Amino acid sequence: MKALVCISNVPDTTTKITFTDNNTQFNTNGVQFILNPYDEIALARAIELTEGNGSVTVINVGEANTEPTIRKALAIGATDAVRINAKPHDAWFVAYQIAQYIKANPFDLILTGRESIDYNGSKVAGMLGELLDIPSVSIIKKLEVNGNEATVEREIEGGKEILTIPLPFVAGTAEGVAEPKIPNMRGIMSARIKPLSVIEPVEVKTFSEIIGYETPAPRGQVKLVPASDPAKLVELLHAEARVI
Amino acid sequence: MPVLIYTENSEGKFKKSTFEAVSYARAIADQNNTSLTAISIGNVSAGELQNIGKYGAEKVLNVSGGKLKDFVNQAYASVIAEAAKKIGADIIVLSNSFSGRGLAPRIGVKLEAGVIDGAVALPEQKDGKFTVKKTAFSGKAFATVELTSANKVIALTPNAYKIVEKGSAAAIEDFSPEVNASDFKAMIKEIVRSTDKVSLPDAEIVVSGGRGLKGPENWGMLEELADVLGAALACSKPVSDADWRPHSEHVGQTGIAVSPNLYIAVGISGAIQHLAGVSSSKVIVVINKDAEAPFFKVADYGIVGDAFEVVPQLIKAIKEYKALA
Ligand SMILES: Cc1cc2nc3c(=O)[nH]c(=O)nc-3n(C[C@H](O)[C@H](O)[C@H](O)COP(=O)(O)OP(=O)(O)OC[C@H]3O[C@@H](n4cnc5c(N)ncnc54)[C@H](O)[C@@H]3O)c2cc1C
Ligand SMILES: Nc1ncnc2c1ncn2[C@@H]1O[C@H](COP(=O)(O)O)[C@@H](O)[C@H]1O
């Protein structure tokens, strides 16, 4: 089985988010970039599913500064990597570039993370599915492959749905699909020599533009209620906060 | 051009998040002096369909039964896009629910539309620009996105827009879309409903427990607290990692993001990854025995104390309050 895992390069989970240029640019100064945590899950599952009978290609739409993240994915166990040399303008741009690549290089299974932790779009998987005219599932908690068919568990409000889907399809992985893998010494050494091909993007119209950012209004000082008087809390939640 | 709202149902009933999305779509239609048409797919009774009118849709296109009885996003996306073309809608609204997240990008591609996922406010339309505010950086910020395409798809974050009752009965019209057999490759084998009384992503009140509760055997008091408040239960990541609670209850950066009116955190330290999933809650209450716990910095109300003493007393106080109310 040939698996493709789409990986994004995102600010570390503990990053303090700030903006510059009158709140129009994300301030990357001093920010550590990492492999998107959900993509680590996708990668781990793809490696498990192809062990001994297949390969895992990772693909990223990004400029040269994403290469450390791509090398990390190779160190974890991907077979080879592709970087489409462009700024990831938005989900549509990213999905369009990756779909072009897949049309020329077919895969049996295409995995993304459920969302990237920077823009939290959850869009690339569905857009890829539509562009390739194959099924997509946006957020999955479990993935088994049996021959030409997969069984996936999808999260729904108040429960879960179990689906069967013929290969090829696209799925966005969430917690539960696999435990992320930590690269070992051999992986780190071999990552340096594994193939990473860089290809140029195709031209495509884009439909969206981020024009500004804001941070949530800071909450006021916490109001402390003595542990001996929870009734006071109930009163505040009712009369002041009006939430009960 | 009219606005189209996809009204998602769960077992034939519309959810609160659906009515929020209808109210939101109505407001967008008003901004543009146009009408609002809804599309419902699946087996929904005429009485239930009428409810959509109450929130401002003039017309409901009803696609019932058959192969479209169950949600298959590829097929539903085709139907919604077809309906949009039929009525000439250029703005398509839906809820950013689990299913909505599967649909919005597919509809976007079909209609060559820019897609906003997780909108938190009404669009602003001025100087020929159409912009929408959405969450970004896992709740740590908002981004304002301009849609430059003629068609637009907007998925509204649950609990971000208030339901407005405006309107009366909707005209119901049967709609029989073309269905393409190749849209049904994915097949639902089983739907497992959790026994939770309130579903977490839709809940208005969430009671959440962390490692401070010591073990799964201590969740009884949180269940009772949730029960008296009509709340859903949630937990921190280490709690679900240790199998004290199911993964579906884990909130935060890598779990579910919630934005209830009230979030009560018990025995949770308030790590940045936890806050990422809960910081857009309207009111946050923290119960923690450590006055230095970082969660207090983002809380509105707090009790510094031992959960095992505070929670039972809090339950008692709420019961007394409910008895009076
Ligand atoms: C990539 C990444 C992603 C992550 N994603 C998530 C995520 O999505 N969600 C998430 O929750 N975490 C996530 N984490 C983990 C996160 O960093 C924290 O480790 C976690 O949130 C801590 O859980 P906790 O607050 O329950 O436990 P702890 O940090 O151990 O805190 C327990 C708290 O309970 C209090 N306490 C103890 N006893 C009592 C008592 N008797 N009464 C009252 N209070 C008491 C303590 O004072 C303490 O504040 C992630 C971490 C990483 C690296
Ligand atoms: N620049 C990118 N290059 C490759 N894959 C990406 C990129 N951005 C997002 N993805 C993939 O799409 C998933 C969902 O991203 P999003 O739709 O942006 O939330 C991520 O988890 C990745 O798997």
pLDDT over 80 (residue A3): yes
Contacts with A, B 220-249, CB within 8 Å: 229, 247-248
pLDDT over 90 (residue A90): yes
Model pLDDT for residues B44-62, shown as the tens digit of each residue: 999 999 999 999 999 999 9
Maximum Cα–Cα distance across chain A: 68
pLDDT over 70 (residue B169): yes
Q: Inter-chain contact B102–A216, Cβ cutoff 8 Å?
A: no
Report the residue of chain A nearest B205, measured CA to CA.
A243
pLDDT over 90 (residue B122): yes
Residue B307 CB less than 6 A away from ligand 1 = yes
Element (H, E) at B120: none
Name the nearest CA neighbour of B170 among B35, B311, B298, B279. Answer: B35
Mutate to test the pocket of ligand 1, among A13, A15, A38, A182 (most ligand atoms within 8 A of CB): A13
Close Cβ partners of B35 (under 8 Å, ≥ 6 residues apart)? B2, B3, B29, B58, B59
CA angle A204, A209, A215 (to 5 degrees): 150
Tokens of B103: 């649909």
Looking up tokens 């195709």 gives A202
Name the nearest CA neighbour of B262 among B240, B230, B237. Answer: B230
Model confidence at B254, in pLDDT bands (50, 70, 90)?
confident
B163–A contact, CB cutoff 8 A: no
Nearest Cα of chain B lies from the Cα of A192 at a distance, in angstroms, of 29
In this structure, are residues B233 and B200 in contact, taking their beta carbons and an 8 Å threshold?
yes
Predicted model pTM: 0.93
Distance, in Å, from the CA atom of A4 to the CA atom of A47, rounded to the nearest integer, reads 10
Task: Find the A5 Cα to ligand 2 centroid distance in Å.
Answer: 10
User: What class does CATH assign to A2-217?
Assistant: alpha beta
Q: Inter-chain contact B302–A222, Cβ cutoff 8 Å?
A: yes
Model pLDDT for residues A160-189, shown as the tens digit of each residue: 999 999 999 999 999 899 999 999 999 999
What integer pLDDT is reported at residue B194 of this predicted model?
79
What integer pLDDT is reported at residue B196 of this predicted model?
67
Which amino acid makes up residue B49? L
pLDDT over 80 (residue B167): no
A144–B contact, CB cutoff 8 A: no
Share the mean pLDDT of chain B.
94
Residue B269 CB less than 6 A away from ligand 1 = yes
Nearest Cα of chain A lies from the Cα of B267 at a distance, in angstroms, of 14
CA-only gyration radius of chain A, Å: 21
Residue A188: phi and psi, rounded to 5, are: -65, -40
Calculate mean pLDDT across residues B104-127: 97
Model pLDDT for residues A218-235, shown as the tens digit of each residue: 888 999 999 999 999 999
SS3 B250: strand
Element (H, E) at A106: none
Model pLDDT for residues A187-204, shown as the tens digit of each residue: 999 999 999 999 999 999
pLDDT over 90 (residue B88): yes
Task: Find the A43 Cα to ligand 2 centroid distance in Å.
Answer: 13
Report the residue of chain B nearest A149, measured CA to CA.
B186
Which amino acid makes up residue A128? L
* Pair type for strands B232-235 and A33-35: unpaired
Model pLDDT for residues A28-52, shown as the tens digit of each residue: 999 999 999 999 999 999 999 999 9
Calculate mean pLDDT across residues B81-108: 97
Q: Which residues of chain A form beta strands (DSSP E)?
A: 2-6, 9-11, 19-20, 25-26, 33-35, 55-62, 80-85, 109-113, 136-146, 149-156, 159-166, 169-173, 196-199, 208-214, 223-224
Nearest Cα of chain A lies from the Cα of B53 at a distance, in angstroms, of 24
Of the candidates B188, B273, B301, which has its C-beta nearest A222's C-beta? B301
Calculate mean pLDDT across residues A72-96: 97
Minimum mean pLDDT among B119-133, B168-182, B223-237: which range? B168-182
Residue B271 CB less than 6 A away from ligand 1 = yes
pLDDT over 70 (residue B238): yes
Domain boundaries of chain A, sorted by first residue = 2-217
Q: How many CB atoms lie within 10 A of CB A212?
A: 17
A219–B contact, CB cutoff 8 A: yes
ipTM over 0.95: no
Q: Mutate one of B79, B107, B112, B144 to test the A interface: name it (highest A CB count within 10 A).
A: B144
Q: Inter-chain contact A138–B102, Cβ cutoff 8 Å?
A: yes
Chain A, chain B: beta-carbon pairs less than 8 Å apart: 273
Q: Which residues of chain B form beta strands (DSSP E)?
A: 3-6, 9-10, 13-14, 36-41, 59-63, 91-95, 114-119, 124-126, 129-136, 141-147, 152-156, 171-174, 187-193, 205-209, 232-235, 262-266, 283-288, 301-304
Of the candidates B108, B144, B247, which has its C-beta nearest A127's C-beta? B108
Calculate mean pLDDT across residues B232-254: 93
Of the candidates A165, A207, A237, which has its C-beta nearest B185's C-beta? A165
Q: What pairs with residue A155 in β-bridges?
A: A160
Residue B240 CB less than 6 A away from ligand 1 = no
